[in-house]
Amino acid sequence: MTDAWPTVPAPVMAGIQRRWPDRAQPWANAVLDELRSLCAKYDATPRTVMPARFSLVVAADTPHGPIVLRSSPDSDGPRQAQVAAALAKIGVSPTIHEATTNGTGTWMLLDEVQPGTPLGDTNPAEVTLESLAAPLAAIASNTELATGLPHISDWLRHRLEDEHLTEVAPRTGIAPAKQRREALQTLDDLTRNARSSLCHGDTSPWNFLADRTSGWMLIDPRGVSGEVEYDLAILAMKIAACDAREAVVMRLTRTCGADSSRTRAWTVVAEAARV
């Protein structure tokens, strides 16, 4: 650690200003003082600012072990904290010690995952699909509902209907109108018998962290309800080339006891929504 106090990285601040222009400056004006107060409360010494897109994430050391302090001005922060707590309860996300929301944003204090290497920085040859599916299988086997949360289909529908979508997957633009219309039809089919259960909502390789005891931990849930087939679809999209995706879907769904046809359908929707 250096003597300098953590600051909000410029790319994070730029992303926040772009995404939440009305909330960005009030959050920035308060976040570092709030960080100092929380560090004092937990006798925490900041070690490093961790990579993030739309939040300040600081790893710190305490007498009781390493923790992560995360703040975001996202208005969905309370719902994200709700899902994070539910995932922690079944052992697939780090323990949350505190989650608080004030006028400028939401803070979460969590155990730091060790060694914490993201799947995106891991040699694929050293990872099995079954190990990645394990935390998702735990979610699928849990009957606890994420009550009071919007369904993932609402967020996807908004993206498919947005003619000026700007937040898209890397190296893509908005999907052609025909592709989005067909995806909306698929989404209608999926939502006719949609499930509203525990769901991470953003199973990208950067949200899987290597854990010494559990294999993989999930972080940064989207704050929605849904179904494990959606989480499996996003994981398959992000780790497999198109020509290999079917085999990956089959192995993941088999491990989780999930529905492969629904997983494939969610993939169609997610691709058109540029998730």
Tens of pLDDT, residue by residue, the chain (275 residues): 446 789 999 999 999 999 999 999 999 999 999 999 999 999 999 999 999 999 999 999 999 999 999 999 999 999 999 999 999 999 999 999 999 999 999 999 999 999 999 999 999 889 999 999 999 999 988 767 677 899 999 999 999 999 999 888 877 899 999 999 999 999 999 999 887 889 999 999 999 999 998 899 999 999 999 999 999 999 999 999 888 999 999 999 999 999 999 999 999 999 999 99
pLDDT at 142: 79
pLDDT at 3: 60
How far apart (Å, rounded) are the C-alpha atoms in residues 235 and 129? 10
How far apart (Å, rounded) are the C-alpha atoms in residues 206 and 50? 12
| Strand ranges of the sheet holding 208-211, from the earlier edge strand across to the other edge | 115-118, 208-211, 215-218
Q: Exposed, middle or buried: residue 271 (CB in 10 Å: 0-12, 13-18, 19+)?
A: middle
What kind of fold does domain 10-112 have according to CATH? Phosphorylase Kinase; domain 1 (3.30.200)
Q: Exposed, middle or buried: residue 79 (CB in 10 Å: 0-12, 13-18, 19+)?
A: buried
| Strand ranges of the sheet holding 56-62, from the earlier edge strand across to the other edge | 45-49, 56-62, 65-72, 106-111, 96-101
How far apart (Å, rounded) are the C-alpha atoms in residues 57 and 53? 10
pLDDT at 2: 47
The domain limits of the chain are 10-112, 116-272
Give which of 15, 82, 46, 24 is closest to 225, Cα–Cα: 82
On whether the pTM is more than 0.75, the answer is yes
- Give the chain's count of helices (H) and strands (E): 9, 8
pLDDT at 169: 80
The dihedral of CA 204, 72, 187, 231: what is its sign? positive
Classify domain 116-272 at the CATH superfamily level: Aminoglycoside phosphotransferase (APH), C-terminal lobe (3.90.1200.10)
Q: Checking DSSP bridges between strand 56-62 and strand 215-218, what pairing results, if any?
A: unpaired
How far apart (Å, rounded) are the C-alpha atoms in residues 224 and 253? 21
How far apart (Å, rounded) are the C-alpha atoms in residues 45 and 221? 26
pLDDT at 49: 97
